[in-house]
Structure 1
């Protein structure tokens, strides 16, 4: 079946493209949906789908059955197109990836740090440590739990109770 579809595609027969879409179209669409999954990317799915089928139509002569299956080859093309599309969307929206942000963009101001530390004095020592690690050093709850040899749910409970206590300082009616 695959060999017949490939032969038709190489001859530029649209019947081959129809059969290819019947055979692998749903897998390609699933791959596109998985990769272009953010709200701002959803509108680009159809464009990516068209580009994938066009690229396969153009590049089918370079397909080598000894190196991979038709499905693997097609999904690799799909993945690469989606990643290119994702990068273009990010560039167009001037989104800075998290790993490229400055070290501590949230606490650059000295007074913000002082206010934060003043608020922490109202918490227990353990809660202070967890708050510092989570909000100041931006450690993940799992990292904090591992370091303090406690369960991740306990870290979340400490954070929740600490936030509640700090809110009560501002509005005792809570």
Structure 2
């Protein structure tokens, strides 16, 4: 089934796209909703969905069944597009990450995120911001440094110092 869909997509046959959407559309939409789950981001879900299907349509030639399944390849594209869109929304709206606590009860790891945010309360505001950008929003140290107008080594120092502080909370003898 997957091979037939890939062949049709490579031929730019819309029947292949229809079959692809029937096969993986639900998984892609779930992935989009899981990543773009804040109230400010919900309006961007359909845009992300269109972008995902367009990117898959255009880049199907680069798909290699030996490296991954069609589902894995498609969800990787979906995840990357959604994370890029999430970062763009945050920058566009100048949202401070602490205001981005999940509100949706559909998020399975809500309590993990709550615990993460509780741990961050023990850090300085600057360390909190860097930790959120790095661990929660998955920004690279270079992106963080550029946005906060600091050197990349400073970002690494903040991350290291913050991890050490959090470890001390669990084992004060460190």
Rounded to whole Å, the distance in 1 between the matches of 2:42 and 2:31 is 13
Shift in Å, 1:103:
6.2
Check if 1:102 corresponds to 2:126. yes
Q: How does 1:59-138 map to 2 (within 5 A)?
A: 59-98=59-98, 101-102=125-126
**CA deviation vs aligned residue, 1:55-101 (integer Å, no higher than 9, x gap):** 00000000000000000000000000000000000000112335894
> For residue 152 of structure 1, what is the aligned residue in structure 2?
none
* Over 6 Å off, 4+ runs: none
Higher relative contact order (CA 8 A, sep 6+): 2
Tell me the residue number matched to 1:24.
24
Structure 2 unmatched runs, 5+: 99-119, 129-164
Output the CA distance in 1 between the equivalents of 2:32 and 2:48. Answer: 7
User: Is the aligned partner of 1:50 residue 2:74?
Assistant: no
Normalised by the length of structure 1, the TM-score is 0.58
Secondary structure at 2:68's aligned position in 1? coil
- Call closer, same or farther: CA 1:65–1:47 in 2, change over 3 Å: same
RMSD: 2.5
Local SS of the residue matching 1:67: coil
State the aligned residue count. Answer: 111
Match of 2:156 in 1: none
Counterparts in 2 of 1:103 and 1:62: CA distance versus 1, 3 Å: closer
Alpha-carbon offset, residue 32 of structure 1: 0.3
> Which residues of structure 1 form unaligned runs of 5+?
105-138, 149-174
Matched residues in 1 for 2:30 and 2:51: separation?
Answer: 15
Between Structure 1 and Structure 2, whose CA radius of gyration is higher? 1
How far apart, in 1, do the equivalents of 2:68 and 2:127 lie?
43
CA distance in 2, matches of 1:90, 1:47: 16
